[in-house]
Amino acid sequence: MFDGLKDKLNSFRKDVEETAEEKAESEAEADAETEAAEEPADADVGSTDVDTDAGARRADDATETADATAETEAGASDADAAESDADATADAAESDVASDAEDVPDDVDLSDDSLAAEGVEDAVADAASGENAKSASTFQRAKAFATGRIIIEEEDLEEPLWQLEMALLESDVEMNVAEAILETIREKMIGESRKQVDTTAELVSEALSEALLEVISVGQFDFDARIQEADKPVTIIFTGVNGVGKTTSIAKMARYFEERGLSTVLANGDTYRAGANEQIRKHADNLGEKLISHEQGGDPAAVIYDAVEYAEANDIDVVLGDTAGRLHTSNDLMAQLEKIDRVVGPDMTLFVDEAVAGQDATQRAKEFNDAAEIDGVVLTKADADSQGGAAISIAYVTGKPILFLGVGQGYDDLTRFDPEELVASLLGDE
């Protein structure tokens, strides 16, 4: 079920994973090139240290020579003159030292006499790294690489997301729904990092899972709990276009309730279609269920009202009412639904359509909900649908949940729709 969509989602996951791996290799190469480029810079720093030390030694030698000269001069005045000459010579030497040290960055402190060549080298390296840290993006990427992480950026997802959007639309996912999924993926992944010990596929799966659940889970409620807690009898009306499996879904629902200890009565509100009574009666006989019906052409609201009366009189838990297949543009048939709503006041109205109808099913669900509010959806032939567009789209478009999937021809082939199970299946989880 939905194998086509599953393949497309897995393809997107692989595309992003390949992009991330290519990026990791590229950043590793860039890091190696950066290290190689830093080696000449270290040599220059060492040269500066040598020049600086040589200049300092020249200053010391000049000072000692001047002092010696001053001591050999005779007389106090001659000594004063020699001392003055010594000071001048020392000043000149110190000027040479300062000139030699101009190549050292401003924030390297040379005033400490104990500063060794190794200390100068460290100070220069620290100053250089401070310049690189001015770019937040570069710093973030460098830090991520150093800690074994890869940062996911927008350009990394651009092409894979485009391919995913096309894949979703090809799978009959409604356009607004596809856009919502893509936007959630962007929010979950861009700027995020993944550890190299993890796989990018896991990161993508997490983002896809959250994105799909956000659109599929809209309006979900606990169907079984609502039925159990409601006052009896509970009246459920089924509506939709002709030929999508409404009557068969009603029969499957009767079996579903029977297995949960709830009794049912069927009501044929499809009073205009030839053969409708015979079709639903055959199901009722196969299941051993009571059927309430009128002659062809009767009032659908009256039939369902009689079924409710029967249920109340016989302690029946659930009334399952069929209606004529209709389009939202059929004013007469829509008026019948409105009358049923007034006369019977059903507890729940379920829209039935085929999963294989794709975007047509999504559009019809929206139109029916607009014309006569529905409470949930039953999708038939889900086992034959490889795309899954209707299952992905309907809840988001209508705000009403998918409650059941028809997955075969037997009475037991009706399953509760579980968004988390569907997403796990689509993403290959067990």
Q: Is the pLDDT of residue 142 over 70?
A: no
| Selected residue with higher pLDDT from 119 and 151 | 151
Q: Is the pLDDT of residue 391 over 50?
A: yes
Average pLDDT, the chain: 75
Lowest mean pLDDT among 10-19, 228-237, 313-322: 10-19
pLDDT of residue 151: 65
Lowest mean pLDDT among 16-25, 127-136, 389-398: 127-136
pLDDT per residue over 260-285, tens digit each?
999 999 999 988 887 888 999 999 99
Q: Is the pLDDT of residue 179 over 70?
A: yes
Q: Indicate the pTM of the whole model.
A: 0.68
Q: What mean pLDDT do residues 412-428 have? A: 89
pLDDT of residue 341: 86
Distance CA 101, CA 56 (A): 10
Q: What mean pLDDT do residues 38-65 have? A: 49
pLDDT per residue over 71-113, tens digit each?
444 444 444 444 455 455 445 444 544 444 444 445 444 444 4
Q: What mean pLDDT do residues 48-66 have? A: 48
Nearest CA to 352 out of 328, 320, 374 is that of 374
Pairing mode of beta strands 290-292, 376-380? unpaired
Q: What mean pLDDT do residues 37-65 have? A: 50
Return the number of other C-beta atoms located less than 10 Å from residue 317's C-beta.
Answer: 18
| Selected residue with higher pLDDT from 425 and 200 | 425
Distance CA 208, CA 192 (A): 14
For every residue of the chain, which 3-state class applies, written as one string? Answer: CCHHHHHHHHHHHHHHHHHHHHHHHHHHHHHHHHHHHHHHHHHHHHHHHHHHHHHHHHHHHHHHHHHHHHHHCCCHHHHHHHHHHHHHHHHHHHHHHHHHHHHCCCCCCCCCCCCCHHHHHHHHHHHHHHHHCCCHHHHHHHHHHHCCEEECCHHHHHHHHHHHHHHHHHCCCCHHHHHHHHHHHHHHHCCCEEECCCCHHHHHHHHHHHHHHHHHCCCCCCHHHHHHHCCCCEEEEEECCCCCCHHHHHHHHHHHHHCCCCCEEEEEECCCCCCHHHHHHHHHHHHCCEEECCCCCCCHHHHHHHHHHHHHHCCCCEEEEEECCCCCCCHHHHHHHHHHHHHCCCCEEEEEEEHHHCHHHHHHHHHHHHHCCCCEEEEECHHHCCCCHHHHHHHHHHCCCEEEEECCCCCCCEEECCHHHHHHHHCCCC
pLDDT of residue 48: 45
Are 289 and 265 in contact, with CB atoms under 8 Å apart?
A: yes
Lowest mean pLDDT among 24-38, 202-216, 323-337, 374-388: 24-38
If you average pLDDT over each of 35-39, 82-86, 345-349, which comes out highest?
Answer: 345-349
Lowest mean pLDDT among 7-21, 66-80, 220-234: 66-80
Q: Is the pLDDT of residue 399 over 90?
A: yes
Q: What mean pLDDT do residues 392-404 have? A: 93
pLDDT per residue over 237-258, tens digit each?
999 988 899 999 999 999 999 9
pLDDT of residue 87: 52
pLDDT of residue 416: 95
pLDDT per residue over 350-368, tens digit each?
999 999 988 888 888 988 8
Q: What mean pLDDT do residues 2-7 have? A: 78
pLDDT of residue 324: 84
Lowest mean pLDDT among 18-32, 162-176, 207-221: 18-32
pLDDT of residue 271: 84
pLDDT of residue 172: 87
Lowest mean pLDDT among 28-37, 178-187, 272-281, 291-300: 28-37
| Selected residue with higher pLDDT from 112 and 191 | 191
pLDDT of residue 47: 45
pLDDT of residue 284: 95
If you average pLDDT over each of 55-59, 199-203, 380-384, 423-427, which comes out highest?
Answer: 380-384
Q: What percent of the chain has pLDDT over 70?
A: 64
pLDDT of residue 251: 96
Q: Is the pLDDT of residue 29 over 80?
A: no
Q: Is the pLDDT of residue 60 over 50?
A: yes
